[in-house]
Chains A and B, each alone.
Chain A
């Protein structure tokens, strides 16, 4: 099917998104570390309203999800879809509009959130004019994405493209439906939903933001970059198709697991819970296909830090998609909800899966984009260990804190039948050591990404040995 004319891929756009990923990654995680410090030691808010916890927290979540993880998957998409479809992006103009539009949205988020301008919906805090900008930029991206699929030179669509498609199609639907509101002023609006309906729509959105922003595009990333780096065939084609469809069909129903023991009707809570439990196997399908692809490459895993990032990333994916369904069970959620356990779960997915997969991709891409080996090759392995140990500190601290506070909040004095810990502040202070431990873990993770930032900067500026990609990138069969 491929024509004889060589295709010139647009790699400039990939470089831009990669740079933005790094920059926002550093900013977002720096803010995360500041938040972690504030929770351990409140004077860290400096008594400055703009950087108090309530305003910085949404800045952190928006920066790491939409700026860091978002730019990372755009990097993956622009690099891999051109090569998988053997065609340049349909429109360079739209690619650049997408890039600059997206960065402008992030900058406006970074200005409005510290000013306290918010819709007060988690992960959908941005005020209505920015919401409209997101919709417009996304439509431009979607046109470019499907335009490229339309003019593709390869008929067969590799599984990575399927995962990307679910991302490109679902995110705007979630975004628009959840943000429907009536503007009152330039910065304020009222949602069209009220009460429980509003909560249900919000968590239908919230959970599927996890599913279609932090999961499916990263699975697409995995299906392209992992076998590339391992130079091994993907373990099972059949599994990839079945777990894809199972995942996208089941995920959409799982939102109510965020609203267990609320005013949401019982049947809807049950639906959210059972669909979440059913998600274990489809999620593990992705993990299996990742890990089993590395079968036969374990000797290389021991040496190649890129593969190490992938092994840990995929393992954390498996871990958090087991933990999540367990937390969706009514009785378990009764303990975990309103505690740091949820925060620990979030970051095992966010740091372990999204972070590690992104780092592996960047270290693989930079030499291929700039034609030079990493300026500080030894730092890559160091980054891996800092990140891994940092995550472990973070998660263990949050599990311990979550279970401790969950048990304290429900503890009852057997003699009087009254709550044992009536002063919430007592509970909070019990968690102090765990908050410090999480701060330490976060600091390690941040140090790692800073090292990567410097390393990439030096490489781009010209230090580092010349690199030429192995000509035959076709994996050895058997």
Chain B
């Protein structure tokens, strides 16, 4: 509809501000209705037709990732040989990710000392791999497994293990 620019005659009442009696722009009304209709359709699709939910979508993504990348063979940690190569590979990983809390000499800070006699979660190689993989989220120790991947976890754990056992 074309703007007719008819004056309302409110100026007296509006401290001199006049108003036109133009109708709502058609495209504006169309936009308004389109958004409302879209909102209705979206809600029905998401909850009604697809019967989906945040949890279902999450599980589907996990399943897809498992399909693509999962299935790595279990490694028998007791049988892992802690070679100098493994330790050397672990050092830069430690420097990059762990020194902020455990210090460059592993004597601790936010996180505990890793080169003393005391272990909260056990000091055997398999224990360390497990602590690093699962983390202790409640205490501020991250769950490194999904971040570093199994291989890097084994490497960095070998580094920690070697340092602590060489200190003792």
Chain A positions near chain B (C-beta within 8 angstroms): 1-2, 80, 83-84, 86, 154-156, 158, 223-224, 227-228, 233-240, 242, 246, 261, 266-267, 269-271, 273-275, 277-278, 280-282, 284-285, 288, 416-419, 422-423, 473-475, 477-478
Contact check: which of A266, A284, A417 meets B47 at CB < 8 Å? A266
- B15, A156: Cβ atoms under 8 Å? no
A-B residue pairs in contact (CB < 8 Å), sample of 19: A84-B14, A84-B15, A155-B13, A156-B10, A224-B15, A233-B5, A233-B17, A233-B20, A234-B17, A236-B23, A237-B8, A237-B22, A239-B28, A266-B54, A269-B54, A278-B32, A280-B31, A280-B35, A288-B25
- B47, A267: Cβ atoms under 8 Å? yes
Beta-carbon nearest neighbor of B70 in chain A = A417
- B16, A475: Cβ atoms under 8 Å? yes
The 10 lowest CB-CB distance pairs between A and B, nearest first, are A417-B69, A274-B39, A281-B32, A233-B18, A236-B22, A156-B13, A237-B19, A83-B15, A234-B19, A473-B16
> Which residues of chain A are within 8 angstroms of B19 by Cβ–Cβ distance?
233-234, 236-237, 240
Beta-carbon contacts under 8 Å, B99-131 to A: none
- B18, A477: Cβ atoms under 8 Å? yes
- A281, B35: Cβ atoms under 8 Å? yes
- A239, B24: Cβ atoms under 8 Å? yes
Known: A236-B24, A284-B28, A417-B65. 6 other contacts (CB 8 A): A2-B12, A156-B10, A237-B21, A242-B24, A278-B36, A478-B7
- B148, A422: Cβ atoms under 8 Å? yes
Q: In the complex, A475→B10 CA distance in Å?
A: 12
- The yes or no answer to B43 lying at the interface (CB within 8 A) is yes
- A237, B20: Cβ atoms under 8 Å? yes
- The yes or no answer to B168 lying at the interface (CB within 8 A) is no
Q: In the complex, A273→B42 CA distance in Å?
A: 10
- The yes or no answer to B149 lying at the interface (CB within 8 A) is yes
Beta-carbon nearest neighbor of B54 in chain A = A266
Q: In the complex, A340→B149 CA distance in Å?
A: 28
Chain B positions near chain A (C-beta within 8 angstroms): 3, 5, 7-8, 10-25, 28-29, 31-32, 35-36, 38-40, 42-43, 46-47, 53-54, 65, 68-69, 96-97, 146-149
> Which residues of chain B are within 8 angstroms of A478 by Cβ–Cβ distance?
5, 7
Contact check: which of B7, B17, B28 meets A281 at CB < 8 Å? B28
Contact check: which of B32, B54, B69 meets A246 at CB < 8 Å? B32
> Which residues of chain B are within 8 angstroms of A280 by Cβ–Cβ distance?
31, 35
- A227, B97: Cβ atoms under 8 Å? no
Contact check: which of A156, A278, A285, A417 meets B28 at CB < 8 Å? A285
Contact check: which of A269, A281, A474 meets B18 at CB < 8 Å? A474
Distance between A266 CB and nearest chain B CB, rounded to angstroms: 5
> Which residues of chain B are within 8 angstroms of A84 by Cβ–Cβ distance?
14-15
- B148, A418: Cβ atoms under 8 Å? yes
Distance between A164 CB and nearest chain B CB, rounded to angstroms: 14
Distance between A425 CB and nearest chain B CB, rounded to angstroms: 9
Distance between A248 CB and nearest chain B CB, rounded to angstroms: 15
A234/B20 contact (C-beta < 8 A), A270-B42, A417-B65 known: yes
> Which residues of chain A are within 8 angstroms of B47 by Cβ–Cβ distance?
266-267, 270
Q: In the complex, A239→B63 CA distance in Å?
A: 50
Distance between A54 CB and nearest chain B CB, rounded to angstroms: 17
> Which residues of chain B are within 8 angstroms of A227 by Cβ–Cβ distance?
17-18
> Which residues of chain B are within 8 angstroms of A416 by Cβ–Cβ distance?
69, 149
- B96, A423: Cβ atoms under 8 Å? yes
> Which residues of chain B are within 8 angstroms of A417 by Cβ–Cβ distance?
65, 68-69
Q: In the complex, A281→B16 CA distance in Å?
A: 28
Tell which of B7, B10, B15, B35 has the most Cβ of chain A within 10 Å. Answer: B15
- B28, A422: Cβ atoms under 8 Å? no
- B10, A237: Cβ atoms under 8 Å? yes
Q: In the complex, A86→B13 CA distance in Å?
A: 9
Q: In the complex, A278→B5 CA distance in Å?
A: 28
Contact check: which of A158, A269, A275 meets B14 at CB < 8 Å? A158
Contact check: which of B20, B46, B53, B54 meets A235 at CB < 8 Å? B20
- B68, A238: Cβ atoms under 8 Å? no
- B97, A277: Cβ atoms under 8 Å? no
> Which residues of chain A are within 8 angstroms of B20 by Cβ–Cβ distance?
233-237
Q: In the complex, A395→B97 CA distance in Å?
A: 32
Q: In the complex, A277→B36 CA distance in Å?
A: 8
- B53, A266: Cβ atoms under 8 Å? yes
